[in-house]
Amino acid sequence: MKKIYTYSKDKRIRDKKEVRRVLREGDFYTASYLKVFYLPFKDQKFSVRLEGGIKGGYKRNRLRRRIREVLRREGSELKNGLYVVMGKRDSLEAGYRKIKESFERVIEEADLWQN
């Protein structure tokens, strides 16, 4: 059976109040390139944020695209809940593979896989 990978608008946290609630009330997990905030919820939604002070719009956008791609591929395997994935400044120079490994490591430590 072929897996369908999506990162559609209904999978995104679009309300700032909801993001703030996840950051304030959710559990916090960190890895070398990412921080993941998790709050249990009936649906599965994601938000991608970056640490402040990252100069250069093209760098910020490239990092966001890489994190979104990881979420698009790995998101269907996660438990339901609200996720805020925050990219650190160190991850600007990291490639897709390192960001993916960092994400998988932090999700494994937090025990957020469905299985």
Count how many domains the chain has. Answer: 1
Phi, psi of 110 (to 5 degrees): -85, -10
d(CA 69, CA 6): 9
| Helix or strand holding residue 30 (H, E) | strand 27-30
The structure's pTM equals 0.90
- Whether 9 maps to a domain, the answer reads no
Output the pLDDT for position 4. 63
- Whether 5 maps to a domain, the answer reads no
- Whether 54 maps to a domain, the answer reads yes
Output the pLDDT for position 40. 96
Output the pLDDT for position 3. 66
- Whether 101 maps to a domain, the answer reads yes
d(CA 115, CA 98): 23
Chain-centroid distance, C-alpha 60: 15
Output the pLDDT for position 82. 96
- Average pLDDT, 10 consecutive residues per value, the chain (115 residues): 72 94 96 95 95 91 94 92 95 94 95 89
The tokens for 52 are 């402040």
d(CA 22, CA 20): 5
Output the pLDDT for position 2. 60
- Whether 47 maps to a domain, the answer reads yes
- Whether 115 maps to a domain, the answer reads no
Output the pLDDT for position 6. 72
CB 87 within 8 A of CB 15: no
